[in-house]
Structure 1
Amino acid sequence: MKHIIRQFGLNWFTTVMGIGIVAALTYTSPVEIPLQHVVGVILFVMLNIVFILAFVMWLLRWLMATKTAVDDFHHPGRALFYGAFAMGINVLGNDYFIIGTHLVPRVLAIHISMCIWLAGTVASLFTVIVIPYLLFTEHRVERDETVASWLIPLVPPIVAAATGTNLVPYVGGTEKQFAMIAVIVAMFGVTFFLFMLTSTLVYARLVYHRRLSGQEAPSLWVEIGPIGMSMGTMCGLPTVASHLFGAYANTLHVLAAVFAMAMWGIGLWWILMSSLHTLLHLTPRGDGLPFHLGWWSYVFPIGSFTSGTYALDHLLGHSFFAVAGVAQLAVLWVCFAVVFVRTIIGTVKGDLVAWRSVRQVKTGGDMGTRVKQA
């Protein structure tokens, strides 16, 4: 058991992110789909189970393999996934608001969602400060090692911002609501600014250095995540907080619509680029696409972009974005089904989790080399 706990990585929280966003988007599809609420509830229950298992494993790792857990902060790759941990918390809290309010008393579900959102906000701010600081001062990376995965610890604040907009009407009077909106906009600004900087580095790496390998190709899809969350945040503000902006409410509505549609366009461009990179490695010119947990980059970022399309539909009420949202949901479900099944198979076979540690013990005579399984 300790062997399994020691190898548990924070990248497992990408499964929490993926399951959670598919559950919410299925449940709230802008066009009615048969059994969408049933499927959404099933995924919501699964989300809670997977999150609890992952969270317990993370805690046990700190208790039983403390040195290994601390070493994550010194590794430029593993440290990134503290962002997945923070986003997993935020996604869980949002699902309690979207789905949980239909399963338990509404007030209770909203209080649970608010508590989880606060925890997710703290985790998000920790991640966006600590991990870049370590990258600046301790981690050693080369320019040709730049990947979009560097966005993972930078995205949590905008995920907290997008999910927090739903809760604004429930925090009390206008003073508290305005304070929460100020925090949400500030977190939006942090991630959006860092997203622009990091995307520039990723673009430069794609232009001037070797092409992404098949192992690295899924990481490019991470770029789509903050795009969708920025759309969701901006579209949510005039929906829940127009009364706080007084004479500027109409201006905010127009600004949100124009900004989100512009981001929708760049999101489609990144999806096209990411798709071409994926398809390249499926041809004889490519390296193949070996399966690993990074494949969950095919799920949450697409889900994030789909949630942004949903937000545009809610803001504008135009059938174009409703149809686009359902089309994106269909693509998301294909990706989710493939990655979910591959994850289960990889876990059972031991490709993702080595269930037994193997050590070889040399012995004399004809016995040769004996393998002991611990």
Structure 2
Amino acid sequence: MATITAPRTLAGYGLDLSRLGPNWYAAVMGTAIVANGAAALPLALPGLIGFGEAVWAISAVALLVLVAGRLVHFTKHRAAAREQLLDNPATAFFYGCPPMALLAVGYGTEVLGSRLIGSQAALTADLVLWSVGTLYAVVVAFGIPYLMITRHRLSPLEANPTWLLPVVAPMVSAALGPVLVPHLPEGLRPAMLYGCYALFGASLLATLVLLPVVFAGLVHSKLPALVLTPSLFLVLGPLGQSTTAVNQLADAAKGTAPELASFAVGFAVLYGVSTIGFAMLWLAVALAANLRALRAEMPFAMTWWAFTFPVGTLVTGAAGLARHTGFDGFTGLAAGLYLLLVAAWAVASARTLAGLRDGRLLGPVQST
């Protein structure tokens, strides 16, 4: 019987953009965190910043291409877009990824892109991307739980770590907003500082509500498919990002709320060390589970990008603790985690490009 191939929706590449979901923003997040991690590392290594700048440029281009692709998806494939958000909770949770991608690329533009595009252009881009990303993050953080309560058919006994994605997004805003505080008019700086603390609290408490549900679901039902095993790394995201946030906010407090600065630093260290400790415990669990899955021939899927951004948040979190404690152990931890991050990013990038080239990821749908 003849093979019928669906029309190619992106000339020359044969990509089926009806299959382009919000999970693809994880690739942008994972690339941007490699760049941001290079800027955060408390080490002066030759070529490190240049490497970070190159990776930031890749993440910025990838974000532009993906946004363009998603606009086509929303305009030409409305039924698929509606199904992804309203009818399929498995994909709806990934709507936490787009705002985190915007925020991560925006931060990289500020800390790495200024030498390439100019400091004023970099600052403006970060302000725009942080503002849009934060609004998006807040909408997702209440919108997806609202859909979970009112529309999606879910069982807490089948919960998995992707449930955390929507509520983690405001934590990324809290972690990456403080770098903008010194650039704002003096009267707006306290609002930005306290607003980021509010985003930190909202995301942290929402995560604490969901984490027991996620763990209970994992214990009761396990992961429904081998390919979802990398999602175990997603638990590291709120841990590393919240550690990053409290350390970044402590830095911002020094110039904006000096009366709170010493308390902010103390809180950052005590909270951060405790949280990183638990993160290392969960990292061991996630690594062991994924090594087991790889031995069982776990196939490549976009879930492999979960190996990147969560680990990157641990890099920036450990770097913040090294900055505030002066303890070389945290410097070594940040460097070791960064090596793990770069290795994971290289593998995920290579496998994604190969999957796009041979049509396994977004190739035209075929029927016989």
TM class by smaller structure: over 0.9
Structure 1 residue identity aligned to 2:270: V
Partner SS, residue 311 of structure 1:
helix
Match for residue 12 of structure 2? none
Partner SS, residue 77 of structure 1:
helix
2: distance between equivalents of 1:145 and 1:349?
33
Match for residue 298 of structure 1? 307
Partner SS, residue 226 of structure 2:
coil
Q: Does 1:52 align with 2:60?
A: no
Q: Is the 8 A contact 2:30 2:309 kept in 1?
A: yes
Partner SS, residue 141 of structure 1:
coil
Structure 2 residue identity aligned to 1:6: S
Match for residue 92 of structure 2? 79
Match for residue 149 of structure 1? 162
Report the CA distance shift for 1:26/1:244 in structure 2 as closer, same or farther (over 3 A). closer
Q: 1:5 aligns with which of 17, 20, 23?
A: 17
How far 1:211 moved relative to its partner? 5.6
Match for residue 274 of structure 1? 286
How far 1:315 moved relative to its partner? 2.0
Match for residue 361 of structure 2? 352
Match for residue 3 of structure 2? none
* Aligned pairs (5 A) from 1:1-374: 1-2=8-9, 4-74=16-86, 75-173=88-186, 175-210=187-222, 213-283=225-295, 287-354=296-363, 356-360=364-368
1: distance between equivalents of 2:40 and 2:352?
26
How much is the aligned-residue C-alpha RMSD, in angstroms? Answer: 1.6
1: distance between equivalents of 2:255 and 2:367?
66
Q: Is the 8 A contact 1:144 1:210 kept in 2?
A: no
2: distance between equivalents of 1:82 and 1:231?
23
Q: TM-score, with normalisation over the residues of structure 1?
A: 0.91
Identity of aligned residues (%): 25
How far 1:323 moved relative to its partner? 1.5
How far 1:204 moved relative to its partner? 1.4
Q: Is the 8 A contact 1:12 1:293 kept in 2?
A: yes
Partner SS, residue 103 of structure 1:
helix
Per-residue CA deviation, residues 40-82 of structure 1 (Å, 9 max, x unaligned), is 1221221111111100011111111122212211210111111
Q: Is the 8 A contact 2:253 2:264 kept in 1?
A: no
Match for residue 369 of structure 1? none
Partner SS, residue 362 of structure 2:
coil
Structure 1 residue identity aligned to 2:366: V
Structure 2 residue identity aligned to 1:330: L
Structure 2 residue identity aligned to 1:303: G
1: distance between equivalents of 2:194 and 2:43?
33
2: distance between equivalents of 1:347 and 1:15?
13
Q: Is the 8 A contact 1:147 1:202 kept in 2?
A: yes
Segments of 5+ residues of structure 1 without an aligned counterpart are 361-374
Q: TM-score, with normalisation over the residues of structure 2?
A: 0.92
Partner SS, residue 282 of structure 1:
helix
How far 1:30 moved relative to its partner? 1.8
Match for residue 5 of structure 2? none
Per-residue CA deviation, residues 233-290 of structure 1 (Å, 9 max, x unaligned), is 111122122243343321221111111111110110110111121122234xxx4322
Report the CA distance shift for 1:104/1:236 in structure 2 as closer, same or farther (over 3 A). same
2: distance between equivalents of 1:115 and 1:29?
25
Structure index of larger Rg: 1
